[in-house]
Structure 1
Amino acid sequence: MNAHVRVLIADDQPLVRRGLALMLAPEPGFEVVAEAGDGAEAVRLAHEHRPDVVIMDIRMPVLDGIAATARLTAELPACRVLALSTFDMDEHVIGALRAGAYGFLPKDISPEELVAALRVVREGEAILAPRLLTRLIATHVTAPERPVPPSPSGTDGLTGREREVWRLIAGGLDNTEIADRLAVSPSTVKNHITGLFAKLRVRDRAQAVIAAYETGLVTARQAP
């Protein structure tokens, strides 16, 4: 049985909010608990209704989606954010993920993709549209004028196996695929990931992927 998912929809366009709510209405296990027209209202309603996932538009008045996501991450860490935007520009993707969003998808996704993404985010996993991940990678690799930032705290303390797991995560492999590649059990992979995230001080796979490209662990030309 799929877990019950309580959803808050935040978008400044009433038609978009209503459309998203109607998309989720027939789905078993989903409940839209509130709708917000700006980021500040989204934060307030999240405190009131304690949703599992907030569908967060990026461009909103009063408080934009990235700022609202940062507040929710700090104030309600159990409430996960799935960012949606018509404008899939790289800075929006990076900003949302760094603010604490568990995923970033364009608004032209299908109802089936939205439902699947909400379930993934509800379980604490990250999700990013393939076309956005490709552009994100390219941006970090092909921007020579941008100085390489210092390595995240804890990088030097990684074991060889943790570093290999990190590289495979950045290559898009899930836990089962990593286990197959390394000839270990999925539970062993999960333990490595727990230690890796703690040392990197990242919360999820999306932030780990960004850190991998920023530190030069992998590049877009490398195969996992």
Structure 2
Amino acid sequence: MGPRVPVATYAADPILRFGVAHQLRPRPEVELLGPDEEDRAKVALVVVDQVDEDAVQLLLRLRRSSAARTALVVGRFEGAALRSAIECGVAAVLRRSEADQDRLVAVVTAVARGEGVLPGDLLGQLLDHVGQLQRAALDPRGVTLSTLAAREVDVLRLVSEGFDTNEIADKLSYSERTIKNILYEINTRLRLRNRAHAVGYAMRNGLI
């Protein structure tokens, strides 16, 4: 067996962090670091419920401040979360429902070797996204309808009609938090400032 992989864990919920630490601590392949040792980490293991604004800020902070490669353990993975995660430098994604001890160790050691890890369905999403980027690069107009997912189009159309977050959530049968996350993902991905900017951008490019 080679040297142990130094791993720093990050989670907003201390219960999630404790659960992952409990899984990793007994394993000889992993050296679990304390909060004051995080600068030695080769892998940053981030555990979240979903890729929301708080999670994105944490991932971006790690990308800027740490030399460690990042692996993400996530409960729910919706919409453009994969694109957001990759843009934040995430090298591996593991759903929390699949994160048993052996799977966690396999992901950590793969990331430490410089590999990327995605579930099969997410790999398909990534390939679709790469295809969209290639088509957009070849399109002289730059932006196509494929830039936005169907539910993103629905949300922006309702915003453009003057509905607020609560009303949009009722109309589309989503939670208010989901609507906010959809808008945040659109703004992050397209580098827009706010809802009004997103609506104007979508209208100018014929997306809604």
Do Structure 1 and Structure 2 share a fold, with TM-score over 0.5?
yes
Residue of structure 1 equivalent to 2:160: none
Q: Residue 34 of structure 2 aligns to which amino acid in structure 1?
A: A
Give distance in 2, aligned partners of 1:16 and 1:119: 20
- Identify the residue that residue 27 of structure 2 maps to in structure 1: 27
Alpha-carbon distance between aligned partners in 2 of 1:14 and 1:67, rounded to the nearest angstrom = 18
1:91-110 map, 5 Å: 91-109=80-98, 110=100
Whole-Å separation in 1 of the counterparts to 2:24 and 2:137: 42
CA distance in 2, matches of 1:34, 1:80: 17
Cα distance between partner residues in 2 of 1:140 and 1:122: 25
Whole-Å Cα distance in 2 between the matches of residues 95 and 79 of structure 1? 18
- Structure 1 pair 96–121 and aligned structure 2 pair: CA distance change class (3 A): same
Other structure's SS at 2:115 match: coil
Unmatched 5+ stretches in structure 1: 36-44, 152-224
Shift of 1:140: 6.5
AA aligned opposite 2:42? D
Measured at CA, do residues 34 and 149 of structure 1 come closer, stay the same or move farther in structure 2, by a change above 3 Å? farther
Q: Against the structure 1 CA distance between its residues 11 and 94, is the aligned structure 2 distance closer, same or farther, given a 3 Å change threshold?
A: same
Write the letter of the residue equivalent to 1:5: V
What secondary structure does 2:136 align onto?
coil
- How do 1:41-190 residues align onto structure 2 when only pairs under 5 Å count? 49-58=39-48, 64-76=54-66, 78-109=67-98, 110-137=100-127, 148-150=135-137
- C-alpha displacement of 1:59: 5.3
Normalised by the length of structure 2, the TM-score is 0.56
CA change 1:23–1:58 in 2 (3 A) is closer
Could you tell me whether the CA contact under 8 Å between 1:53 and 1:81 is conserved in 2? yes
> Which of the pair is proportionally richer in helix?
2
Q: Which runs of 5+ in 2 are unaligned?
A: 139-208
Q: Counterpart amino acid of 1:84?
A: V
**Letter aligned with residue 120 of structure 2:** P
Distance in 1 between residues matched to 2:72 and 2:63, nearest whole Å: 13
**Identity of counterpart residues, as a percentage?**
24
- Greater radius of gyration (CA): 2
CA contact (8 A) 2:73 2:96 kept: yes
* Pairing 1:5-16 to 2, within 5 Å after superposition: 5-16=5-16
TM (norm. structure 1) is 0.52
The residue number in structure 2 matching 1:41 is: none
RMSD: 2.9
Shift of 1:96: 0.9
